[in-house]
Amino acid sequence: MPKKAKRKSWSEMIKLNCRAFQIFCKRYPQMVLSRLLCVIWTSLTPYVGIYLSALVIDELAGSRNAARLRFLVLLTLGSAALIALISALLNKWKETRGAGLWFKVEHIFSEKLLDMDYVNLDETETAELLSTIRQNQNGGGWGLYRVMANCEALCSAVLTLLGGISLTVSLFIRRVPQNAGAYTLLNKPAVIFFVIAVMLAITYLAPALSNKAGSYWARNADSHNLGNRLFSFFGWLGYHRELAADVRMYRQDRMCERYNRSKDGAFGSNGLFAHLSLGPIGLYSAASSAVSVIFTGAAYVFVCLKAWAGAFGLGAVTQYVASITKVSGGVSGLISALGDMRNNASFLEQVFAFLDIPNPMYQGSLTVEKRRDRSYQVEFRNVSFRYPGSDTYALRNVSMKFVIGRRLAVVGMNGSGKTTFIKLLCRLYDPTEGEILLNGIDIRKYNYAEYMNLFSVVFQDFKLFALKLGENVASKAEYDRHLAADCLEKAGFAENLAKLPRGLDTFLYKDYDKDGVNVSGGEAQKIAIARALYKDAPFIVLDEPTAALDPIAEAEIYSKFNDIVGDKTAVYISHRLSSCKFCDEIAVFHEGAVVQQGTHDELLADETGMYHQLWHAQAQYYTES
């Protein structure tokens, strides 16, 4: 069951909003400046019109001096034109600076994810937190996304209020003449205080009621998000290309339609929000609108009574009615902005919980010595590892030395820990127990980026970018074209490259270029191998490098393996034992432990060993020589 979000205190609300505002100021100062200047301008300039119009009316109703009237009218029109012009310019500036706020916010999250230790990405809490934040943002516009709008609303309300007050003060100070009979009551401080109190009460009530209505959305954000999530899946079912065949085969669209059209869903006519809208949300919103109208009525009565009694002229009536309405608008805006900021505070708290996730991996500072002879000795010493949140060991007491320049094969059944072993080797994770040493020193003590530079890995689930082929190989926009072509050739992609009309400049896939090429799984794997070669790191790791290749391409890679690897230390992972025979040494993994280690012949000779068993199990599929 979705939980109801708890409201934050005012001080927490201020802290959270200030922190969010500072993020925008630091990252996008021009956007903040343009938005705030626009607000200041649009909040204060209406008073120029109000003040000048009052002077014009007073002149018309009073001394009727034609020259002064002409001057006032021209001034009113001129200032209105100038204000409109500057407003348009400011708005243009704001639009160009503030464009894509949604992307800007997404960018903040994306940078955090890129900066995060790899291990954090595995934590379910991390994924859940980010998913909740994004659902709240996409569903209700909550979180960081709302901060700028709230700041603008707050700023606008305060300025409107101040401007309004400065033009309204004299309404209460200007006195009804003593000969006005009962109307002189309007001069009494008690009456004035009473009128102000009533107006403030009404002014407070309208936005408070409206905030109360809004709080039902915030408090039920989880149900709102769930409804949105269901709707985004069922409503867009037809867009899911990967489901298209199954949907047709089993007419799953009918099954989904039943969920999509359910009247009891969050947004259905019998759902939570329909009930809330018919009930409290509707009532509070209606009451808020009614109260606002009462305020305008009360303001008119008070101003007109004073004018009727002779406290001021006709021009002042328009000025006071307009400015008092502005004061009320300012107070309403202030209360509603503060209310919205408070409603948003618990969503911001989630955002900061995500942005503050610490990187738990120790960051060493030792530099990795640059060695031309690639003499880097890595050793696993009694290493055990559990994935975050898992209580079973994926690796157990693994001890192993990588002999420089040799080819090590890592074999074993699926789930035996081969990939985990490689991820620890590259320090994507740190061991739970034991240590990994580089030239005798714990790898945690080295500079992380420099240590990473020692490895070129082709992961099983590698990904290529829908960018140019050459950029994919070099992982850079500016690169050595000759070297890139050479690496592609070594990886067996030469023939394909020759056929590409734009060679290295051909886009992979068609996402960003209609002339892009779609590469098969096998071709993609060759490009990924070329990418690993281009990096030219002392260690090359190929995780199931031939899984997507056809038998001919696989044979081609094997025959070139020595060429490909050169003088690098190579680790070759496969569950196809026949493809590991050429390695100098083979480590057999089983249930997270290294159960055997030796050459192919040595391991096969041990008839009771795991290798022998695996070899013969696979021999029925492959006729080995």
Residue number with CB closer to ligand ADP (331 or 587): 587
Site string for ligand ADP, 413-432 (x = CB under 6 A): -xxxxxxx------------
Residue number with CB closer to ligand ADP (472 or 579): 579
The CB-of-438 to ligand ADP minimum distance in angstroms stands at 22
The CB-of-383 to ligand ADP minimum distance in angstroms stands at 13
- Distance, in Å, from the CA atom of 390 to the CA atom of 393, rounded to the nearest integer, reads 8
The CB-of-402 to ligand ADP minimum distance in angstroms stands at 18
Residue number with CB closer to ligand ADP (326 or 418): 418
Q: Which amino acid is at 531?
A: R
Would the CA dihedral through 39, 40, 42, 47 be positive or negative? positive
Residue number with CB closer to ligand ADP (227 or 431): 431
What's the token pair of residue 60?
Answer: 């018309």
Question: According to the 3-state scheme, what is the secondary structure of 418-429?
Answer: HHHHHHHHCCCC
Residue number with CB closer to ligand ADP (138 or 397): 397
Question: In the range 121-140, which residues lie near ligand ADP by CB under 6 A?
Answer: 122
Site string for ligand ADP, 331-370 (x = CB under 6 A): ----------------------------------------
| CA-wise closest residue to 398 among 413, 417, 414 | 417
| CA-wise closest residue to 178 among 170, 166, 188 | 188
Residue number with CB closer to ligand ADP (83 or 413): 413
Residue number with CB closer to ligand ADP (300 or 387): 387
The CB-of-615 to ligand ADP minimum distance in angstroms stands at 17
Collect all residues with Cβ–Cβ distance below 8 Å to 189 and sequence separation of at least 6. Answer: none
Give the burial class of 577: count Cβ atoms within 10 A of its Cβ; 0-12 exposed, 13-18 middle, 19 or more buried.
buried
Q: Which residues pair with 385 in a beta bridge?
A: 395
Residue number with CB closer to ligand ADP (388 or 609): 388
Residue number with CB closer to ligand ADP (137 or 416): 416
The CB-of-390 to ligand ADP minimum distance in angstroms stands at 5
What's the token pair of residue 481?
Answer: 């074209």
CB 438 within 8 Å of CB 415: no
| CA-wise closest residue to 485 among 534, 431, 423 | 534
What's the token pair of residue 19?
Answer: 């922190």
H-helix segments, 262-313: 272-278, 280-308
Three-class DSSP category at 66: helix
* 407 belongs to the binding site for ligand ADP (CB under 6 A): no
Residue number with CB closer to ligand ADP (331 or 580): 580
Residue number with CB closer to ligand ADP (61 or 617): 617
Nearest 5°: CA angle at 21, between 16 and 26? 130
| Site stretch for ligand ADP (CB under 6 A), options 94-102, 268-276, 386-394, 427-435 | 386-394
- Distance, in Å, from the CA atom of 18 to the CA atom of 614, rounded to the nearest integer, reads 62
Q: Which amino acid is at 490?
A: K
Q: What is the DSSP letter of 346?
A: H
Q: How many CA atoms lie within 13 A of 407 on its CB side?
A: 21
Question: In the range 44-73, which residues lie near ligand ADP by CB under 6 A?
Answer: none
The CB-of-111 to ligand ADP minimum distance in angstroms stands at 23
| Site stretch for ligand ADP (CB under 6 A), options 64-72, 216-224, 411-419, 615-623 | 411-419
Looking at 164, 214, 329, 412, which residue binds ligand ADP (CB under 6 A)?
Answer: 412
Residue number with CB closer to ligand ADP (195 or 424): 424
Looking at 9, 110, 390, 559, which residue binds ligand ADP (CB under 6 A)?
Answer: 390
CB 160 within 8 Å of CB 329: yes
The CB-of-456 to ligand ADP minimum distance in angstroms stands at 18
Size of the site for ligand ADP (CB under 6 A): 12
The CB-of-421 to ligand ADP minimum distance in angstroms stands at 7
The CB-of-454 to ligand ADP minimum distance in angstroms stands at 21
- Distance, in Å, from the CA atom of 612 to the CA atom of 60, rounded to the nearest integer, reads 109
Q: Which is it for strands 593-598 and 441-442: parallel, antiparallel or unpaired?
A: unpaired
Looking at 148, 202, 226, 394, which residue binds ligand ADP (CB under 6 A)?
Answer: 394
CB 223 within 8 Å of CB 217: no
- Distance, in Å, from the CA atom of 448 to the CA atom of 380, rounded to the nearest integer, reads 18
| CA-wise closest residue to 408 among 585, 205, 176, 184 | 585
| Site stretch for ligand ADP (CB under 6 A), options 17-25, 231-239, 348-356, 412-420 | 412-420
The CB-of-539 to ligand ADP minimum distance in angstroms stands at 18
| CA-wise closest residue to 175 among 59, 318, 309, 314 | 309
Q: How many residues does the chain have?
A: 625
Three-class DSSP category at 374: coil
Looking at 387, 448, 509, 582, which residue binds ligand ADP (CB under 6 A)?
Answer: 387
| Site stretch for ligand ADP (CB under 6 A), options 125-133, 138-146, 232-240, 409-417 | 409-417
What's the token pair of residue 596?
Answer: 């055997």
Would the CA dihedral through 6, 9, 13, 16 be positive or negative? negative
| Site stretch for ligand ADP (CB under 6 A), options 241-249, 260-268, 408-416, 515-523 | 408-416
The CB-of-541 to ligand ADP minimum distance in angstroms stands at 12
Site string for ligand ADP, 87-126 (x = CB under 6 A): -----------------------------------x----
The CB-of-595 to ligand ADP minimum distance in angstroms stands at 13
Q: How far is CA 65 from CA 14, 51, 56, 70, 312, in A?
A: 53, 18, 10, 9, 19
Residues that bind ligand ADP (CB under 6 A): 122, 387, 390, 394, 412, 414-420
